[in-house]
Structure 1
Amino acid sequence: MSTEQQATAWGDAEGRRRDILASAELILEQAGYAGLTMRAIAVGAGVSSGTVYQYFDGKEDVFAALMTRRLDDLQRTLADVDRGLGIAGVLREIEPQVTELWRRFGRSAAQWEAKVLAGGRRGKDAAGSAKVYRKTINALARTLTETAQACGQTLIDDPALPHWVWDSLIGVADDLLLQGSRTNRVRPAHLIEFATAAIERGIVQS
């Protein structure tokens, strides 16, 4: 048990929940979704499996809660980022968070979704994660619109736009993590600069 977990006082529900999520995030990083079990989470958090079940219905909900926390952080960044940076500049500001989210959860997300959809599981955390994802896409759309207005630009009017931008950022994140562009001696910073500028060109009306 870590020092932080030892310091969590009995009855500190929020602290206990943080311990559980910290344990789960470490397991995901080390063993992936397959290694994420309620028992393993409990051991890492220094609590019983029964205690973990007091907070989450199953590992699907734990995973959803972890994603929700990261998406909430990204929404705060989108709310605060300087619109004067321009669209490409704003995207460069959020790309590190997108990359970190994809590094931690990307390759497990498909397994999580398949498990939830196939099993018909709709726990409150799973449902909440989907809602937070939609809020994140809406926040991205709002930030792009406000940034374009601040820079005297007009965005293409299409509901697919923020989804395409998000998927494009995920694509960049995947390349950065797999170091695909480096095989052709393209530096990560150059890839990000090129990709964000290309995204801006693709969504602004000429």
Structure 2
Amino acid sequence: MSETNRKSIHGDAEARRRGTLDAAAALLDEGGYGALTIRAVAQRAGTSTGLIYKYFADKHDIFVALLNESQIESAHFVAQLPRTDGVAALIEAVIPEAARQWSRVGRMTAVWREAVGNQQFQRASLSEVLVTAEQYNRELERAVVEAARIEGRKLVDGPAMIPFVLSGLMGVSDTLVNNWARHIDPAELITFTAEVITRGITA
């Protein structure tokens, strides 16, 4: 087989996998985790269920792949943010991306965990998700620490600091995605939240 043919086949496989994930993401947006079935994904992607099973064991693996991808994208996003405008500005820049990813898969994770139960901990694919989650946490911590150092602010020392930031990000993301605070300008909510989180983690 020529090098060109190998690249073509590889490219087609990647395109099919990408199409499957895009179709799954669209179904999650429209109907939540319950709408995610192999048959529905195949119909949306314009392919067969047999072809999807070549790439994913079941719908749980599709969701895990989306979650994993989301965390990798978020880590890359945070890694590229400027640190020179301070901690609050950094967190304010993170919130819209956190909300985007929350709308995609974050708010579905509780339903997914309930659906798969203890099986999730036996899946090899979950190990990768745990790795990318830790990667995101490290990037976020690095960004916050560097922004605080440049700004001349002292961070509260303790293992709860980043979980506190993550909890704030999840809370405001859920509010933004579900439009729970209709009477408030989203930009105002984002700025306020970033300032409050910053006050909570700086001495």
TM-score by length of 1: 0.88
1:99-178 to 2 correspondences below 5 Å: 99-120=99-120, 122-178=122-178
Q: Which has the higher contact order (CA 8 A, sep 6+)?
A: 2
Letter in 2 for 1:97: E
Q: Is the 8 A contact 1:116 1:122 kept in 2?
A: no
Once the two structures are overlaid, the 10-residue window that deviates more, 138-147 or 38-47, is: 38-47
Q: Is the 8 A contact 2:42 2:52 kept in 1?
A: yes
The residue aligned with 2:17 is: 17
Q: How far apart, CA to CA, are the structure 2 residues paired with 1:25 and 1:120? A: 20
**Post-superposition shift, 1:11?**
6.7
Once the two structures are overlaid, the 10-residue window that deviates more, 163-172 or 40-49, is: 40-49
**Post-superposition shift, 1:96?**
1.0
Q: Is the 8 A contact 1:61 1:124 kept in 2?
A: no
The residue aligned with 1:65 is: 65
Q: Is the 8 A contact 2:98 2:173 kept in 1?
A: yes
Specify whether residues 89 and 11 from structure 1 end up closer, same or farther in structure 2 by C-alpha distance, changes over 3 A only. closer
Letter in 1 for 2:185: R
Matched, 1:180 2:185: no
**Post-superposition shift, 1:25?**
0.6
Q: How far apart, CA to CA, are the structure 2 residues paired with 1:116 and 1:153? A: 43
The residue aligned with 1:199 is: 197
The residue aligned with 1:3 is: none
Q: How far apart, CA to CA, are the structure 1 residues paired with 2:169 and 2:11? A: 41
Q: Tell me, which stretches of 5 or more residues in structure 1 are unaligned?
A: 1-7
**Post-superposition shift, 1:10?**
8.6
The residue aligned with 1:4 is: none
Letter in 1 for 2:188: H
**Post-superposition shift, 1:118?**
3.1
What SS class does the counterpart of residue 55 from structure 1 fall into?
Answer: coil
Q: Tell me, which stretches of 5 or more residues in structure 2 are unaligned?
A: 1-7
Specify whether residues 11 and 178 from structure 1 end up closer, same or farther in structure 2 by C-alpha distance, changes over 3 A only. closer
User: CA deviation digits over 1:82-106, x for unaligned, max 9?
Assistant: 1012111111111111111111223
Q: How far apart, CA to CA, are the structure 2 residues paired with 1:59 and 1:147? A: 40
Q: How far apart, CA to CA, are the structure 2 residues paired with 1:163 and 1:142? A: 14
1:72-111 to 2 correspondences below 5 Å: 72-111=72-111
Count of equivalent residues: 196
**Post-superposition shift, 1:58?**
1.1
The residue aligned with 1:5 is: none
What SS class does the counterpart of residue 47 from structure 2 fall into?
Answer: coil
Q: How far apart, CA to CA, are the structure 1 residues paired with 2:54 and 2:98? A: 31
The residue aligned with 1:50 is: 50
Q: How far apart, CA to CA, are the structure 1 residues paired with 2:73 and 2:102? A: 14
